[in-house]
Amino acid sequence: MDTTQQAQHAGKAKILLGTLGHEAKNRALDNIIQGLQAKRQAIVAANQADLDLAAKENLAAPLLKRLKFDDQKIEEACEGLASLIKLEDPVGRILDATELDEGLELFKVSCPIGVIGVIFESRPDALVQIASLCLKSGNAVLLKGGREAANTNRILADIIDSAAVRAGAPEGWLGLMETRSDVEDLLGMSGYVDLIVPRGSNAFVRHIMQHTTIPVLGHADGICHVYVDGDADLDMALRIALDSKCQYVAVCNAAETLLVHQDTARTFLPRLKERFDEKGVEIRGCERTAAVIDVAAAVEADWATEYLDLIISIKVVDSLTEAVDHINRYGSGHTDVIVTGNREKAMRFMEQVDSADVFVNCSSRFSDGFRFGLGAEVGISTNKIHARGPVGLEGLMIYKWRLIGNGHIVADYTGQNAKAFTHRKI
């Protein structure tokens, strides 16, 4: 089957999948757990074939690590599925209800978006996670994984697809695309695909965002800032700066730049450097930073770089305004933190920083669907429409308007003897 046919099948399947009951969807998710556990050996063997080929092709060690899908990954995937079963059905929720006139009632009701295109690099666990999120939310899904995980992806997609169909999902609800040209095909399918969710490196996500007119849910860069204000508790600022930078460096919500108010720089920076030195963090500082502590000189590009490593850039600023301007200029609209004891400044920071997550006196690392209590995470979005920040299942949902009347026509509400609308919330 070619990609267009797969997309057409998904387009048909979405209608029935969107009306599949909550029980059937949960039974499908349970079938997937059973399937993954029953075919454990075959999955690991398929993954081993991918790993062997990747090793032969000298794939880099971090890529090999992400490619690995072993017993533990299967267990984690099953845990994720079990927790997804516990979530409420996101479909059919009445978001708003208004009586327009007697006997004419309007309901805004949640429904799936339709067909989600998922493009991901390496990690086969992303396939299980996103396919099951689509299933729970009633969306058909077209999956395009990395070539290096072809064997693993094939068996996983097959288990998920047949498990769901056995529970009542329509054939064609899940399509796996495999050839290299399929990504470009998918990006051009604005008639079939309603939303694209990319999972991969910054460069990969940016490429996707720039090459499609289909909406893309996600983020490329995560250039997060911690601003230590003049009114900050410096012990707290130290804890937060260290956690934001070092708790896990290879993630989008780790801090890349520290902004320090000039009133604090002289006392704070030496203490910070001591701790960063202990942790092996390389510091690149502006001139005013270099006047206080011994650091490499930051260049313009540093302010716009997501290191994803034990490196941090530091800039001393004159004011909250300068900090906010710097963040809005160089940041990626992901997560930015102020450490301050001043309530008014905290509020101004939260209002004026144009980012998905604006935090006061806590670590940037809290920016995460699980920590936010969303139950499931579709991704973290730096979009300005639809869904922003950590996105749960609601990111895969939209709504439709149901209007139920009893022969009502617009002509009765226009002209000289026009009836009036009641517009009463119900």
Q: How is residue 418 annotated by DSSP?
A: P
| Least separation in angstroms between CB 33 and its own copies | 24
Q: State phi, psi for 413 to the nearest 5 degrees.
A: -110, 15
236 binds its own copies (CB under 8 A): yes
What is the spatial order of strands in the sheet that 104-112 belongs to? 104-112, 94-101, 424-425
Tokens at residue 108, please? Answer: 């805004």
How many residues belong to the chain?
A: 426
Judged by CB under 8 A, the residue of 247, 249, 271, 322 near its own copies is 247
Name the segment binding its own copies (CB under 8 A); options: 151-159, 262-270, 287-295, 365-373.
Answer: 365-373
Confirm or reject binding of residue 372 to its own copies (CB under 8 A): yes
Containing H/E element for 67? helix 61-67
Among residues 403, 418, 419, 426, which is the contact residue for its own copies, using CB under 8 A? 403
Tell me if 56 contacts its own copies by CB under 8 A.
Answer: no
Q: Give the binding-site size for its own copies (rule: CB under 8 A).
A: 76
CB of 47 to its own copies, least distance (A): 27
List 305's β-bridge partners, or say none: none
| H/E element, 111 | strand 104-112
| Strands 335-339 vs 379-381: parallel, antiparallel or unpaired | unpaired
In the complex, the smallest distance separating the C-beta of residue 389 from its own copies, rounded to whole angstroms, is: 5
Residue 225 or residue 284: which is nearer to its own copies going by CB?
225
Nearer to its own copies, 37 or 190 (CB): 190
Stretch that binds its own copies, among 67-75, 117-125, 219-227, 342-350 (CB under 8 A): 342-350
For CA atoms 159, 165, 170, 171, the dihedral sign is positive
120 versus 359: smaller Cβ distance to its own copies:
359
> 278-337: which residues touch its own copies (CB under 8 A)?
324, 328
User: Does residue 104 belong to the site contacting its own copies (CB under 8 A)?
Assistant: yes
Residue 162 engages its own copies in binding (rule: CB under 8 A) = no
Full DSSP string of 292-334? TS--EEP-GGGGG----SSEEEEEEESSHHHHHHHHHHH--SS
Instruction: Select from 57-65, 161-169, 305-313, 350-358 the region that touches its own copies (CB under 8 A).
Output: 350-358
361 binds its own copies (CB under 8 A): yes
Quick one: 105 or 263, whose CB is closer to its own copies? 105
Beta strands, E only, 222-342: 224-228, 255-261, 282-285, 296-297, 311-317, 335-339
Shortest distance, CB of residue 364 to its own copies, whole angstroms?
9
154 versus 207: smaller Cβ distance to its own copies: 207
Can residue 410 be called a binding residue for its own copies (CB under 8 A)?
yes
CB of 334 to its own copies, least distance (A): 11
Q: Is 114 in the site for its own copies (CB under 8 A)?
A: yes
Q: Where are the beta strands (DSSP E) in 145-212?
A: 174-177, 195-199
Instruction: Write the CA distances from 419 to 102, 255, 416, 422, integer angstroms.
Output: 11, 59, 9, 9
Q: For residue 335, give the nearest of 385, 374, 389 by alpha carbon.
A: 389
* Out of 181, 213, 416, 417, the residue judged to bind its own copies by CB under 8 A: 213
Cβ proximity to its own copies: between 150 and 360 the closer is 360
Sign of CA dihedral 268, 271, 273, 276: negative
CB of 410 to its own copies, least distance (A): 4
Pick one of 100, 150, 249, 310: the residue that binds its own copies (CB under 8 A): 100
Shortest CB 348 distance to its own copies, Å = 8
Q: Does 18 bind its own copies (CB under 8 A)?
A: yes
Alpha-carbon distance of 184 to 420, in angstroms, equals: 52
Indicate which single residue of 83, 191, 405, 419 sits in contact with its own copies (rule: CB under 8 A): 405
Stretch in the footprint of its own copies (CB under 8 A) among 77-85, 212-220, 267-275, 288-296: 212-220
Mark the segment that binds its own copies (CB under 8 A) among 32-40, 73-81, 106-114, 143-151: 106-114
Q: Is the dihedral of CA 298, 302, 303, 309 positive or negative?
A: negative
- CA–CA distance, 285 with 235 (Å, rounded to integer): 21
Closest among 164, 132, 171, 174 to 27, alpha carbons compared = 164
Q: Which residues pair with 311 in a beta bridge?
A: 282
Q: Which is nearer to its own copies, 175 or 369 (CB)?
A: 369
Pick the stretch among 219-227, 233-241, 260-268, 270-278 that binds its own copies (CB under 8 A). 233-241
Using alpha carbons only, give the angle 211, 217, 219 rounded to the nearest 5 degrees.
80
